[in-house]
Amino acid sequence: MSRKMNWFVGLGILVATLNSCAKPDAQADKRWYKGNLHTHSYWSDGDDYPEMIMDWYKTNGYQFVALSEHNIIADHEKWVSIAGDSLRKAALTKYRDRFGDQWVEDQLDAEGLKIRLKTLEEYRPLFEDPGQFLIIQSEEITNQLGDKPLHLNATNLRELIEPQQGESVVEVLQKSIDAVRAQRERTGTPMIVHLNHPNFHYAVSLEDMIALQGEQFFEVFNGHPQVHNQGDSLHIGTEEMWDLVNIAYLKQNKPLLFALGTDDSHHYHRKGRTWSNAGRGWVMVRADTLSPDAIISALEAGDFYASTGVTLSELSVAGGTMKLSVAPEPGVHYTIRFYGGLSGEDHTSLLAEHEGTSASYTMEPNVIFMRAKVLSDKPHPNPIESLDTEMAWTQPVLNRG
Ligand SMILES: [Zn+2]
Ligand SMILES: [Zn+2]
């Protein structure tokens, strides 16, 4: 049997579980929820209070946020020192103005003024609203191997996961993935792990990603200005990495890798290309309710897309046909591209390109998987790298025909 035949036989066990919720009748009771799964506050190296950050996301059209701090969960006593730092003083003034002196807990000791950070359980009731806004507990598992930062987000975890040690990038990442999966199994709580910014310090190579087991998500777009989403003259960008990983995963009978857009926001007072600000990239998830279980279930089914500004009004996959429509904004021009992995090819190809707000594509038998990308000519309001216009990425789907 040829290698190609093996690949096709292996696909048979994968296709049954994918896109089952993408049928139009099953979507009737679902709606799209906008969320950011990667955010930092004073609990680690962000520069604002969690309440201020939640307030920003809630009033800017998001329905869910995961505060994902470096190796820490917001469940214990922690104080932030204000003395001698003008930015922290300014942040405190905004915090007091917004939430009042009654809410803000301060302390003056020999080291100066300190503010106690509220735990997730303390600030959660201020924002959560059934069907409107949800906060998901998270952690950025922040491993370091030599000069390589190896970060993964664990979304909806119950207990802190310590950074892992290992001899190689793959070993450290794999141990982190396994720790999340073990916690999920032990607690019975749905949770996911995703690989963050592989090109940050160019720490995670394509070969590293291909070697991972059980890695179902990564960030095709991360809004931090130092993560090299687009790569450089020596390194491929995350989008190309995504396709190459999927070609390799399918050959190894692994499920397709899905891609997220996230902010990785740290800076809430200074804005521009050199800061990691809120509002740059997100996911739109189609779920029947706004709950951690429903959001995670939809993510695992691939029923979501990543965006830096483009909104879809329709997205369906049935019988090997992907159909999508953009929710157009006045005066904006859209280009819809379909990319696919062809049988026997070691890279993806541009299958079709449409100018306008709606398009569909039906996979020929030689197309193994496909995905769509929507480009626009609308300037991103706060871009990084040369990603100057708004776009969106659907998840890849297998050819079931
Ligand atoms: Zn990180
Ligand atoms: Zn981060």
Residue pair 358/321 in contact by the 8 Å Cβ criterion? no
The count of other CB atoms within 10 Å of the CB of residue 234 is: 6
| Helix axes of 50-59 and 86-99: crossing angle, nearest 10 degrees | 60
- Alpha carbon of 268 to ligand 2 centroid (Å): 14
- Alpha carbon of 115 to ligand 1 centroid (Å): 25
Please name which ligand lies nearest the alpha carbon of 197: 1
Please name which ligand lies nearest the alpha carbon of 72: 2
Please name which ligand lies nearest the alpha carbon of 151: 1
SS3 229: coil
Please name which ligand lies nearest the alpha carbon of 264: 2
- Alpha carbon of 65 to ligand 2 centroid (Å): 13
Please name which ligand lies nearest the alpha carbon of 138: 2
- Alpha carbon of 8 to ligand 1 centroid (Å): 36
- Alpha carbon of 162 to ligand 1 centroid (Å): 15
Q: What pLDDT shows up at residue 26? A: 63
> In this structure, what DSSP letter does residue 395 have?
P
- Alpha carbon of 260 to ligand 2 centroid (Å): 13
- Alpha carbon of 85 to ligand 2 centroid (Å): 23
Residue 126 CA to residue 273 CA, distance in Å, equals 31
The residues placing their C-beta within 5 Å of ligand 1, an ion, are: 151, 196
Q: What pLDDT shows up at residue 291? A: 98
- Alpha carbon of 93 to ligand 1 centroid (Å): 28
- Alpha carbon of 211 to ligand 2 centroid (Å): 23
- Alpha carbon of 218 to ligand 1 centroid (Å): 12
Residue 168 CA to residue 310 CA, distance in Å, equals 38
How many Å separate Cα 379 from the centre of its chain? 22
Q: pTM for the full model?
A: 0.93
Q: What pLDDT shows up at residue 11? A: 42
Residue 254 CA to residue 251 CA, distance in Å, equals 8
Helix (H) or strand (E) holding 119: none
Q: What is the pLDDT of residues 90-129, one digit of tens each?
A: 999 999 999 999 999 999 999 999 999 999 999 999 999 9
Please name which ligand lies nearest the alpha carbon of 149: 1
- Alpha carbon of 371 to ligand 1 centroid (Å): 26
Assigned fold of 3-78+117-398: TIM Barrel (3.20.20)
Please name which ligand lies nearest the alpha carbon of 200: 1
Instruction: Please list the alpha-helical segments (H only) found in 60-137.
Output: 86-99, 120-127
CA distances from 343 to 114, 187, 215, 390 (A): 61, 41, 23, 31
How many Å separate Cα 290 from the centre of its chain? 17
Q: What is the pLDDT of residues 199-209, one digit of tens each?
A: 999 999 999 99
- Alpha carbon of 153 to ligand 2 centroid (Å): 8
Residue 238 CA to residue 197 CA, distance in Å, equals 8
> In this structure, what DSSP letter does residue 129 have?
B
Q: With 0-12 CB in 10 A as exposed, 13-18 as middle and 19+ as buried, what is 13?
A: exposed
Query: Domain limits of the chain?
Result: 3-78+117-398, 79-116
CA distances from 213 to 17, 157, 190, 252, 295 (A): 18, 19, 18, 10, 22
- Alpha carbon of 142 to ligand 1 centroid (Å): 7
The Cα angle at residue 115 between residues 109 and 119, in degrees rounded to 5? 135
How many Å separate Cα 366 from the centre of its chain? 30
Q: What is the pLDDT of residues 271-311, one digit of tens each?
A: 999 999 999 999 999 999 999 999 999 999 999 999 999 99
- Alpha carbon of 38 to ligand 1 centroid (Å): 9
The beta strand positions in 185-224, using DSSP E, are 192-195, 217-222
Q: What pLDDT shows up at residue 5? A: 38
Q: What pLDDT shows up at residue 400? A: 81
Q: Which residues of the chain have pLDDT under 70?
A: 1-26, 401
- Alpha carbon of 264 to ligand 2 centroid (Å): 5
SS3 303: coil
